[in-house]
Every structure is written in C-alpha cells, then in structure tokens.
A and B are shown apart, each in its own frame.
Chain A
C-alpha cells in the first residue's frame, strides 16, 4: 500500500459498515391491493392480472389467467355490461381500458387455436354433483366443480347447452357459431351433459338428491311476469320473453305496424330491436326509468345495458323515459293504443320511493300491439316446495345455499336479484367453491370484497395519455338479424390496451423504486421475490424517506410506522 503523507484515504464502499437503516421511523413495504376492475367484476375476473399476462407472456397465458374465474370469455366479452370499465381508474385519466374487448379477443383466440382449459384434474374423485340448467350459472358451477375434482352431470330441457345465452340473446349480439364453440369446449371439459331432461318430467328433484349429495339449480327465469293494466289485458297478449325466444328460435315476430314495449330491461331492448328488424315501423319502449347516461343516478337508470339502449336508439327505437302506461285503449279486445303518463319515483314521508304519475301529462300512443317485458320469473314446474308459494325466485344466501335446503344451491337469474351473464358466472363459481368446502367437511365462507385501490394512490406522472381502441361497429343501415354488430379489436389493439393498463395496486416492474432510491436500498432481483415482485428493500440501509412509495406509479408501495 502506498503511504500517503498528507490527507486521508479510505477504502471503497466502506460506508456499507454504517447501517443507515437505524435512522428509519417508517419503512416501505410492498402491498398488493385489488384493482377496481377486479373488485367490480361480477364473475370475479381479475382483468389487471390478465392484462399483465397478456403483456408479459402473450394471449394464451392471459386467457389461462382469465378462465381461472370465467370459462366463457368469448360470450361475456360480447354480452357483458362490463362494470369493470366503469370502475377502471384510467377512466378518470383519459379513457377506461377496453376490458370487454380484450376479454373477447382472448376468448376468440382460444376458440381459434382450440386451447384447452388448464387446471382441470384428470382424476376427479370428489363427490358427484348434479347441475340443473346448462345456462351460464349452471355451466360455470359445473366447470369450477370439475376444477375442484368433482364429477358433474348437467341436465337441461333443451337438446343443446347454453340456456338463456341461446334462447334470449339475439345473434347480432352473440353469434351462434361463437356460442356453439364455447359450449362445445366447456362440455368437453369433462362434465356429463344430459339433454332433453325436463325437471319434474324426465327427472325429479327427489331422484337427483337421492343420487347426488349436492344439486345446483340454475333454471334461470323462463316465464314472463304476469301483467295487466287494472286487470285488463288484450286478447293477443304475449310477454316479451316468449316472443323473443320464439323469434330467436324460429324467426317469427308478431306482425304489427306499431308496437309499445313496456319495460326498461334487456328483454325490452332486445324485443324492440327484433321488432325493428321484423319490419315494424314504429317501436316505442316505455320505461319508468331514465335512459342511461352521465349524471343519471344508478337507481333511476333503466336496467338494460347502456350500449344496447344506445344501439337500439340508433336503430330507430323510440325510448320514452319516465313514462308509465295508465290505460289500454281497446277496440273490442284488440289494442289500438295506450295512454301513457309522466312518472317518476319520488321519496315519500315514510322514506320509501313511490312511483308517482303526474296528473295532466297523459298522452295517447296509437299502437296495434303491446308487449310487456316487465321481468321474468322462475318456472315452478318440478321445483315443488323449493320455490315457496307467492315467491317468484329462489331464496338463497350469498354462497348460493337455498334457504332451508342446505344441500341445494342456486345462482344466476333464478335468484331474482341478478340479471346478467357475468353475475350468473360468478354465482356458479362461488356456489362451486361452497359445495366443494361443504363436501369435504369445511364450513364454506363467503368471499371478502376488498376495497379497490383508488386513483389518488397512483402516481399518474408516469403514464402517458393514450386513447381507447376504436372498434369496428356495423353501420345502422347494414344491421340485420344475424350479423354481429360489434367487430371487436385486433391483437395489436389488445396488446396496446395491456400497455395502457395502470396496473393498479400491483407491481409491474417499471424500475422506478430501484431507479429513484437515493440510498441504493432498493435492490433488483432476477428471481421473483416471495411477494411476487423483482425488488427487495434493504432495510439495513433504507432511511425510510418514502420516495419510492410516493413515486410508485401503481400504489404498490406503502409506508408503515417502524416497530
């Protein structure tokens, strides 16, 4: 060693002997939080996770992440009302991630390449379960039971699977070849499918319960709710749901020059659009609620999916919002018009909402057909006392256990408080998990809905504005009975959506913490650390300044008080 005669010297990096971590009063920690899209999804999909898989590992990995929750992405990507996009934090920044289009893209890729569901064990030696109804609720339950190792038999009255997806969703929203292929794959996942089985005719609930320790009931709502105006009904009355089913099955729609459809739900919108396609000039939809739009309170919004309402209006359907039918105008027993009146739900002295008709606002609509689409109820046949007298729907807890019948589970439309495909899929998944727990002797517990991470916890400085993808949409003049209206997005557009995702509450390995730590106390690992990230805090030196937490784009780092 050279002797230095003046001054002082020190060896390199000897500062490491001095542990500045002792200064710390707060420590940074990695904290995973659920993205809003994940919390909002009725089916339980984690869109943030599959967008991340898409960017990191490609469409197949993303699809596999997706079908861990929902086996029918090609269907839900098309028909879902995507509350995930309403919840998306990016919506408050520029435009929400087009999650439904990514979901649809992944579902279509899976069909195109014939990918098989991952995670279904070949040996399924759990207890057998029967599923009644091959709609989205029943099929999701069956699929998740297979994943959990149970043999499943699915019964349906129709010759093919699909339920409401097949009988009540028009082809321009859900093309039949997509549905057929999705059904083919899910049936091939390992469940036994018994078609042409009507509950109470070909098989009784008692027989099912004798043979299967647990039974899932997913009958849907196949019967139009009884309807009259002060006890009066026209002689040629057909409820919307049966007309819709008939049109979808055989292409027959009632002949009318003008029609009034009563109700603001999806059946009403579908029926209205079907009537336009069948050549009805004037199609009026009469709803007590408001057309969906910004600033309209959820409680006052028509239950129909916003996109469907918008497209129906584009196609010439006239929606009369905040209106109710006061009186039917009949010639003999045939309808020649309806008297409608302005109506709104108002808060009463007892705090309840009551529908109020405003006197003096009555007008007459000249129509030659009235189609009530005021809701559907469960078909009672075969359910016996399970469907209590005076009740329209099956009563069940959050897990899907039917009240007073602990070995029966239910989900989907039959519960009465649902109404969408995604909710049905979520019910099926939750019921499957509960049945599994139940069958292996564990008390099933409801899923805990966690608080999603808000936009205020993200650092938006690190993101760039970028628009949502433009989707091809069939022009109104080209819309017909079968051709799909929405064209979806390309692989390139889907990949761009994955890049746009804020990765709320989840590390996306941007290197910010590693780059910005003034104290070299964030270390990068090639291996994945135990918390799933590629970064480790070195608490020997971290002074707890909190810069990493403040600059984390995803809100993944939090400061916790020291011991």
Chain B
C-alpha cells in the first residue's frame, strides 16, 4: 500500500508541472526550510519575466553552491548590504533598454533590517520600479544564529543567549513595516508561508504596481528556532494566530487591510513549540514576566491593527488556508 507510482517518468513530469518553476530541487536548504518555501511560492507568482538580486544569506548560499544554481530566472548576488542597490541599477539599465522586466530584490532580515537597510531606504526613496522581498526568519541563520534587529524580544540566539544575566534578546523586534511605510511607497505588505495563497496574491499585487513595493514574508527556520522541520507551517500559522506576526497591507503608508484573527491563541501556544523560547517555561519569575511581556506585545498588535475578527470571515486566519477537493482553493 505504501508504494507510490513507478511507471511515471519523474524527470519528464518535473518539466510538465502546471506552475512556473523559478527555483528547482537540489538546493541545499535544511529540512523544512521556510525560506526555501517562501522563495518557491514567490517565483511561482512572479513568473518567468523577472530578474532577481539576492543579498548574502541562506537563500544565496543554498541555491548557488558553485558550479550549480537552483534558479531558472536571471539571478545575481553581490554583497550582504547591496541587494536593493544592485536591483536599483538593474532596473535603471532595463529602463534605458526599454525592457519591462520586473526586478525583485531579495534579502533576509539581517540584510534588510540591518546591513542593507540604507541601500533599501535609498532605493525606495528614489522610486525605482522594483519589488523588495524580505524573508524574515528573525536572526542571522546563515552565519550561526546571531541576533538581528528582527529577532523577537526574549528569543535566545548565540549572541543573545538566555541565562543568568538575560532572558534572551533584551531589545524588541524592529517595526520595519512602519519604517517602510514612512517612505510613502505605493504598496507594502506582510505575509506568512502558513498562508501560501496570501503570499502569491501579495506578490502578484506588488508586481502589478509601478514603483517601489515591499513584502515581508515570515518564514520559520527550524534550525534557528528550534523546532522539527515538519512543523514549519504549524509554527508560522501560530505566529499569525497569536497576533505576534500581523498580516497586513499598507497602501501609500496607510493600513489598507489586515487578516482578521478568528480565534486568537495565547502566545504560549506559539512559544512553547520552539526551543528559542524554551527558557520562558522554566520555573523563574523573570520567565513569567517575559511571557506576559510577549502576550502584551501580541495584544498591542491586535489593537494597533484591529486584528480581532468579528465572526467567521472568508479571509481570516481560519478560512484563508481552507482547502478543497482538487486544489480549488489554492490561488
């Protein structure tokens, strides 16, 4: 009963998949990598006529171990800090050549929130017709799980270890989307790999807009967060359902849309499945305080973005991933 099919030519089948393959198998991401999934979903929606730039980071490393490449669209990497800058240059060159090819700059949270931030800010300010995508796994995973300015409060990393002195990271997760909104760009949004339809929809929306757009995709890192690879979607979903990672859309810096949370879950549901928050469940008064702090941060998000749903809604956290026979729900 456990035999899968044998008489299908798998290599031929791979080439006949009814979706665009921007990134192919054989890449060396860890088991259950959220970023690999996010990048795959992104290219499916962005389609073949794109050029990608990639900051230094896991995605760059695991897709292009020389002399191989997993990419099937033009892709280039230069440095950690300049993904947005080279994308801006490519966009200017295409404009000169009269080409309509969309340029997408990609980076992790390290290159986006920290190292490449001024290049990103500059590109947005100059109004290049490009989409910037940040895969947010909340630490420098490629170099060994160092804290970034995206690492959530109280998470343990190799440079913000939980111990006698501190309960993990002392500082807060940088509110990047508000900073992006301050650039007054036409479209900025957040999404999560737990909601593939939402990811694709927002990529398509951003691609269709003339001008700079920004997308933040929450993508769990099983290794860095400390959960099994098969739980990536579950963990990502809980981040949304608890209110710790709000799914929102901003048009010209104004809140235009938020995914309502139908049944908000306590933050502990999200935290307890990850080793990076394990110290918060120790018998320690500081841990109890930090749990309350994280719950307060989730509650703050709920209020700020008015996330609490008012009864079932086709676009809320429970309905947005509903599946149907024959895959009719996935868009």
Question: Footprint of B on A, CB under 8 Å?
Answer: 8, 10-20, 23, 29-32, 52, 55-56, 461-465, 499, 503, 508-512, 514-521, 523-525, 527, 529-531, 536-538, 540-541, 543-547, 549-551, 553, 558-560
Contacts and interface: CB of A to CB of B under 8 A. Distances in A.
A510 B25 contact: no
Given A546-B230, A550-B230, A510 B324 contact: yes
A515 B329 CA distance: 11
A510 B4 contact: no
Given A52-B325, A516-B233, 19 more contacts: A12-B24, A13-B24, A14-B67, A465-B318, A508-B325, A510-B329, A511-B330, A514-B327, A516-B196, A518-B36, A520-B40, A523-B14, A529-B8, A530-B3, A530-B7, A531-B4, A540-B10, A547-B32, A558-B2
B25 A16 contact: yes
Contacts of A16: 24-26
Contacts of B228: 546
A523 B33 contact: no
Nearest to A30: B4
**B interface secondary structure, majority:** loop
Contact of B319 (A464, A516, A521): A464
B1 A31 contact: yes
A544 B31 contact: yes
A545 B323 contact: no
Contacts of A31: 1-2
A538 B10 contact: yes
Contacts, number: 185
**Which 8 residue pairs of A and B lie closest in terms of their CB atoms, listed nearest first?**
A511-B327, A546-B230, A15-B26, A529-B5, A545-B31, A10-B69, A510-B323, A541-B25
27 contacts: A8-B66, A8-B67, A12-B71, A13-B26, A14-B26, A15-B24, A15-B28, A16-B26, A17-B26, A20-B26, A30-B4, A32-B1, A56-B326, A461-B237, A461-B321, A465-B318, A510-B327, A511-B323, A516-B196, A520-B21, A520-B40, A524-B17, A530-B4, A530-B5, A537-B4, A550-B231, A551-B234
Nearest to A514: B327
A17 B11 CA distance: 12
A449 to B, nearest CB: 17
B165 interface: no
Interface string B216-259: 00000000000011111110010000000000000000000000
Contact of A509 (B28, B69, B312, B326): B326
B319 A509 contact: no
B25 A521 contact: yes
A512 B323 contact: yes
Nearest to B193: A516
A499 B232 CA distance: 27
A560 B2 contact: yes
Nearest to A10: B69
A23 B6 CA distance: 21
Given A524-B18, A547-B230, A10 B68 contact: yes
Contacts of A550: 230-231, 233-234
Contacts of A13: 21, 24, 26, 69-72
A236 B103 CA distance: 96
A515 B330 contact: yes
Nearest to A56: B325
Interface of B: 1-8, 10, 13-14, 17-18, 21, 23-29, 31-34, 36-37, 40-41, 63-73, 196, 228-234, 237, 312, 318-319, 321-327, 329-330
Nearest to A16: B26
**A interface secondary structure, majority:** loop
A519 B63 CA distance: 11
Contact of A15 (B1, B27, B231, B232): B27
Given A10-B64, A523-B14, A549-B230, A529 B4 contact: yes
A508 B21 CA distance: 24
A553 B323 contact: yes
Contacts of B32: 518, 545-547
Nearest to B24: A13
A518 B33 contact: yes
A480 to B, nearest CB: 41
A15 B325 contact: no
A509 B14 CA distance: 18
Contacts of A546: 31-32, 228-230
Nearest to A558: B2
A538 B14 contact: yes
B23 to A, nearest CB: 7
A17 B68 contact: yes
Nearest to B319: A464
A186 B329 CA distance: 41
A509 B65 CA distance: 35
Contacts of B31: 23, 543-546
A42 B324 CA distance: 29
A536 B231 contact: no
Contacts of A23: 31
A471 B32 CA distance: 46
Given A508-B325, A510-B325, A529-B8, A15 B229 contact: no
Given A12-B72, A509-B325, A516-B196, A536 B10 contact: yes
